[in-house]
Structure 1
Amino acid sequence: MVNQQWQWQKAPAQPVQPVQPQPVQPQPVQPQPVQPKGFSRTASPVASTLQALRQEGRPAFIGYFPYGFPDVPTSLEAMRVMVKSGVDILEIGLPYSDPVMDGPVIQAASKCAIDNGVKVDGVFDAVRQVQADGARALVMSYWNLIMHHGVADFAARMAEAGGSGLVTPDLIVDESGEWIEQSDRYGLDRVYLVSPDSTDARLQITSRAARGFVYATSRMGVTGERTSMSNSAQNLVARVRHAGAPYVCVGIGVSTAQQASQVGAYADGVIVGSALVHCLLDDEGRPRKDRRKALDSLAEVCSDLRWGISQSRK
């Protein structure tokens, strides 16, 4: 038998076929959902001012003046005079046809501005000017005007103009959900009012929701000049601070340097309105014809009040 030797032989290598790349079909780009604008993380502009003044050892001088009274140019000039004469924070009033919380002086000024055809849109020019002149600008308005204008639009335009926020005398926290949302969105301050008859529970709710400061009214009733100040304001400030508000400012009735000094001894800010507006009204409650003298009178009153405030903690 013939032996046969079997030998395994490796199969010859087969040529490698190149892999042809497959064309990639472009996938349609899915539109990303538009996210709502987030909340502002900026510090309260008014609280920052109050904190700086507290470190200096004095309260803020907060002045009020209605936009458009006795006419738009004069109201803008009056605000400029106020800032140059020592006002730290300026409340720009939006004239309203039914100012239930205002006394006869501010009512007369509001009626004059409304008769002049003043519109909400113009107030943003005043805000820009006040900020540029070096003071914080708040708008003080009855809530119906803001609702009619549109809360979101007003907040956006206020922020664009550099304004600090709103003082809302007739708006309570329970009914201000939309304003809280929009003011948080744009970093604007919310100033609510409290009075001596506010309950402790109400003071706590208001103090938690406020941003900037809480406005403590020195007494019940409408705005206006008074010859003396009651002790209820000091007691109210203590209660509001106990409720958690870091800054409490007092208004309604302050009209002299002595009163301003008295209030400044315990409040973070002294708010004056009627006494300033009165400078541009004559004895008949009509706009003074000599505007230059009226503005000079305004400067003098502001300077006196600023001096009184500066002496409050000495």
Structure 2
Amino acid sequence: MTSRLAGRFAELKSANRAALVTYICAGDPGHDASLALLKQLPGAGADIIELGMPFSDPMADGPTIQAAAVRALKAGQTQLKTLEMVRQFRVEDQTTPIVLMGYYNPIYRYGPDNFMRDAREAGVDGLLVVDLPAEHDSELGPLAREAGLDMIRMATPTTDAKRLPAVLDHASGFLYYVSLNGVTGVGQADNATVRDAIGAIRQQTEIPVCVGFGVRTPEQAARFALDAEGVVVGSALVDCIAKAETPEQGVNDVLNLVSDLANAVRHARN
């Protein structure tokens, strides 16, 4: 059976365009507003959704997403509530892939076996565990594959040709290429450098490559969409929530930006 992620990338390949991958933190700024936003992202143009699992020590994230995690946790978000959000999303949408993105600690505390079972039953399609590198695949990889969940791996500008095979081993769904060193939401990547990196990756795998970190504007997204199979935007969306005077305004501002990003990505190759 074809996974939602594989199916979505096949659709987009036939349409000759990249995917817009949108990140939001579950429970930010509160459960109700976050759920409302999640449900509306596909209609605004999101092809794939990364749903952040809030954690108290998100070491790979910059100030914007760190603050989102704090807001969500203060509002009472839990792993159970995050999975319930996915369940409620699936009542209305059975086609948009959802990847849970976050850190190993909340999964470990939940219980990896129970988490994989519940995530699959909720309608999760993949996992991106930032602090669990490919060398530690045995921690979650076998459980994820048994549950039918894609295990998303990350490559960075420092991932050389010697290490790349280990990163690609057992990777599925897509490869998340971190466009610059550092944390999320800080800096801007160089397009030529990213293009060369994608070319090197494609010499070793056919897995789709999605570029993230440092992508904030429709113009930046369109440039990366020329070369990558997907473009990930997170901090710019979370910023909309942080700067809004009300949760409702935050939701609307995010959806408006997603619409602009989607339009840019969809027309990048035309």
Shorter-chain TM-score above 0.5 = yes
Task: Show CA shifts across 1:55-87 (max 9, x none).
Answer: 111111100000111111011111123221010
TM-fit CA distance, 1:305: 0.2
| Structure 1 contact 214–247 (Cα < 8 Å) conserved | yes
1:113 maps to: 72
Q: Does 1:234 align with 2:195?
A: yes
Residues 65-214 of structure 1 correspond to what in structure 2 (within 5 A)? 65-131=24-90, 132-133=92-93, 134-214=95-175
| Structure 2 contact 4–96 (Cα < 8 Å) conserved | no
Q: Give 3-state SS (helix, strand or coil) of 2:214's partner.
A: coil
Structure 1: gaps of 5 or more residues: 1-41, 283-287
Runs (4+) off by over 3 Å: 129-132, 225-230
CA distance in 1: counterparts of 2:83 and 2:64, whole angstroms: 24
TM-fit CA distance, 1:128: 2.2
2:269 maps to: 313
Task: Show CA shifts across 1:276-297 (max 9, x none).
Answer: 1111112xxxxx3322222221
Mark the structure with the bigger radius of gyration: 1
Letter in 2 for 1:295: V
2:260 maps to: 304
| Structure 1 contact 81–295 (Cα < 8 Å) conserved | no
CA distance in 2: counterparts of 1:264 and 1:191, whole angstroms: 19
What is the TM-score with the length of structure 1 in the denominator?
0.81
| Structure 1 contact 85–302 (Cα < 8 Å) conserved | yes
TM-fit CA distance, 1:189: 0.5
CA distance in 2: counterparts of 1:177 and 1:188, whole angstroms: 15
CA distance in 2: counterparts of 1:228 and 1:221, whole angstroms: 11
Deviates more, 1:74-83 or 1:264-273: 74-83
TM-fit CA distance, 1:148: 1.6
Task: Show CA shifts across 1:208-254 (max 9, x none).
Answer: 21010110011101000656644322222112211214211100011
Letter in 2 for 1:106: I
Task: Show CA shifts across 1:79-131 (max 9, x none).
Answer: 12322101011111011111111111111111111112221111112222344
| Structure 2 contact 180–188 (Cα < 8 Å) conserved | no
Q: Percent identity?
A: 32
Structure 2: gaps of 5 or more residues: none
CA distance in 2: counterparts of 1:108 and 1:146, whole angstroms: 21
1:3 maps to: none
1:285 maps to: none
Task: Show CA shifts across 1:167-211 (max 9, x none).
Answer: 111111121214221111111100011101112122112212101
What is the TM-score with the length of structure 2 in the denominator?
0.94
CA distance in 2: counterparts of 1:302 and 1:51, whole angstroms: 22
1:289 maps to: 245
CA distance in 2: counterparts of 1:245 and 1:142, whole angstroms: 26
Q: Does 1:269 align with 2:262?
A: no
Task: Say what the alpha-carbon RMSD is for the aligned residues.
Answer: 1.5
Q: Give 3-state SS (helix, strand or coil) of 2:162's partner.
A: helix
- What is the number of equivalent residue pairs in this alignment? 268
Letter in 1 for 2:131: D
Letter in 1 for 2:219: Q
| Structure 1 contact 204–240 (Cα < 8 Å) conserved | no
CA distance in 2: counterparts of 1:67 and 1:48, whole angstroms: 25
Letter in 2 for 1:124: L
| Structure 1 contact 229–254 (Cα < 8 Å) conserved | no
